[in-house]
Amino acid sequence: MSETLLSLVGVGKSFKEVDALTHVDLEIKSGQVIGLVGGNGAGKTTLLRLMAGVMEPSKGTIMFQEKPVSSMRSKLGVVPESTGLYSRLTAWENIRYHSRIYGIDDEVAWNRVNHFAGMLDITDALSRHTKGFSRGMRQKTALLRALAHGPDILLLDEPTAGLDVTSARTVRRLVGQLRDEGGTVIYSTHHLAEAQQVCDRIVIVHNGTIRADGSPDELLHETGQQSLEEAYVSLTSDKARARSEDDKKESKLAKWWRRFLTGSTPDYKEVSEDE
C-alpha cells in the first residue's frame, strides 16, 4: 500500500486582497506522478511553493509525514522554471554545491547523478561550465541537481517549457523512470496532453481552487466527456482570473527558489542568463 508523503488540509494563500489559493485539500502518495494542470494564474506555482516549504500558507496545514513541510526540505527536490545555475561553475560543480548543502558526500552525489546523466545525454557535459548552455542543457542540469540528494518527492515547475521536442521527450522519459523506480513526482504544467502522457493522476487547478483530482479515466467518468480536453473545459468554464502569481520581476521568483535550493543567498552574485 502506498505511503502518504505529503498532506495538505484546508490550505489557502492570500497576497493582500488576492486569494491565490482557496481551501486546498490534497494527499500525495508515494510511487505516483501527479500532474498539476491549469492555465497561467490558476495557482499552480503558489501551490508548488507551499508544498516546497518556500512559503507558509495563510491558513491550513501542510505536513510531510506528519511533520511541518518547512522542516523537511531535505526530503524534497525542486526544479523551478528558472533554473538558477551559476554560470562560472561547471554542471557538476553546480550539482555538488547543492548536494553539499544537504550534507551529501561527493561520491554518493556523483553516483546518483551518473545514474540519470546517461539517460539525459548530459554525461560528457558535466565537466563544462554552464555559461552558454542551451535551455535544454540547463534544465537537465537542474534535474540532476534536484536528484543528487535522493529526495522522496520531486517537484517540477513547467519542466518542458521552452525545450525542443527531443529534450522535452527526454525529460518525460526520466519522469517515467523515476516512477518505475518507486519515486514520487509532482509535475506542474499547463499542457493537458503532456499531463495525460506522463501522469498517473491529474489535479486540475483553476482560479485558486481544485476543480478535479483523479486518473484520466476517472476525470472522463466524472464529467461524462469523451476526451480530457472536453473534461477540462467543462470543469473550468468560468472565466479565468487575471494572473496574480508573480506579476512582478522574474528575479523575485528566482530569489524565492534560490532560497529553497541553497538555504541562503550566496556571497557571489554570478548566476546564469536564465535569471
Condensed to tens digits (0 to 9), the pLDDT of residues 30-53 reads 999 999 999 888 899 999 999 999
pTM of the model: 0.84
- The SS3 assignment for 101 reads helix
Mean pLDDT, rounded, for 122-127: 94
Q: What pLDDT score was predicted for residue 12?
A: 95
- Summarised one tens digit per residue, pLDDT across range 161-220 is 888 898 899 999 999 999 999 999 999 998 888 998 999 999 999 999 999 999 999 999
Note whether 154 and 79 are within 8 A (CB). Answer: yes
Beta strands of 118-164 (E only): which ranges?
153-157
Q: How confident is the model at residue 260 (pLDDT cuts 50, 70, 90)?
A: low
Letter string b/e over residues 178-213, b meaning 16 or more CB atoms within 10 A of that residue's CB: bbeeebbbbbbbbebebbbebbebbbbbbbbbbbbb
Instruction: Among 54-58, 70-74, 227-231, 251-255, name the one with the lowest average pLDDT.
Output: 251-255
Q: What pLDDT score was predicted for residue 275?
A: 39
Phi then psi dihedrals of residue 234, to 5 deg:
-70, -30
Q: What pLDDT score was predicted for residue 2?
A: 76
Q: CATH fold of 4-240+247-262, please?
A: Rossmann fold (3.40.50)
Q: Is the pLDDT of residue 247 over 50?
A: no
Q: What pLDDT score was predicted for residue 40?
A: 83
Q: Is the pLDDT of residue 266 over 90?
A: no
Instruction: Indicate the Cα dihedral angle 30, 193, 140, 163, nearest 10°.
Output: -160
Identify the residue whose cell numbers are 484520466: 216
Q: How confident is the model at residue 255 (pLDDT cuts 50, 70, 90)?
A: low
CA distance 82 to 273: 10
Mean pLDDT, rounded, for 226-251: 72
Q: What pLDDT score was predicted for residue 47?
A: 94
Among candidate residues 152, 178, 174, the one with its CA nearest the CA of residue 163: 174
What is the overall mean pLDDT for the chain? 86
Q: What pLDDT score was predicted for residue 274?
A: 45
Q: How confident is the model at residue 82 (pLDDT cuts 50, 70, 90)?
A: confident
The bridge status of strand 59-64 relative to strand 4-15 is: antiparallel
Share of the chain above pLDDT 70, in %: 87
Q: Is the pLDDT of residue 134 over 70?
A: yes
Among candidate residues 155, 153, 144, 98, the one with its CA nearest the CA of residue 121: 144
The bridge status of strand 33-37 relative to strand 153-157 is: unpaired
Q: How confident is the model at residue 267 (pLDDT cuts 50, 70, 90)?
A: very low
Q: What pLDDT score was predicted for residue 251?
A: 52
Q: What pLDDT score was predicted for residue 256?
A: 59
The bridge status of strand 67-68 relative to strand 76-79 is: unpaired
